[in-house]
Amino acid sequence: MLVYDITDLESFQNLNSWLIEIEKNASKNVYKILVGNKCDMESERKVTKEQGKDFADQYGMKFFETSAKDSTNVAEAFVTMTKEVIKGSNKKGPGPKKDNVVVSNAPTGKALNSGKGCC
């Protein structure tokens, strides 16, 4: 999950270097999603929604604008990410085993399955 601050152009401009790091350090089939945070601060916006969407489209990522402050689209972004990771783990080839995927219930933090995982 690549997250930038819509009120901070530099954080958006850093996305390219973050993608390079992901390419260097993650598996080839790693799922990526782009999140523009602080959408509750519209009056201070420095990155347009269109810029975020265009960047996400360029790299084949889903895109969400969220607000951690008022919870706008936060659950939706995490649910989408989780579903895509699980869907990817069910495909043949390298990737995590099903019993290594742990989905956390955000409000309670309790694991929803008893599979072994790192987190």
Q: pLDDT digit of tens for each residue in the chain (119 aa)?
A: 999 999 999 999 999 999 999 999 998 889 999 999 999 999 999 999 999 999 999 999 999 999 999 999 999 999 999 999 898 877 655 544 444 444 444 444 444 444 444 44
Distance (Å) of CA 69 to CA 37, 39, 42, 74, 91: 9, 9, 13, 10, 36
DSSP state of 106: T
Phi, psi of 47 (to 5 degrees): -120, 120
User: Structural domain tally of the chain?
Assistant: 1
Tell me if 67 is assigned to some domain. yes
The range of the structural domain enclosing residue 44 comes to 2-94
Residue 114 lies in a domain: no
User: What's the token pair of residue 8?
Assistant: 């901070």
pTM: 0.73
- Sheet holding 33-37: strands in order across? 2-5, 33-37, 62-65
Distance in angstroms (rounded) separating the CA atoms of residues 63 and 35: 6
Q: Is 117 among the domain residues?
A: no
Residue 107 placed within a domain = no
43 domain-assigned = yes
Q: Could you tell me if residue 21 is inside a domain? A: yes
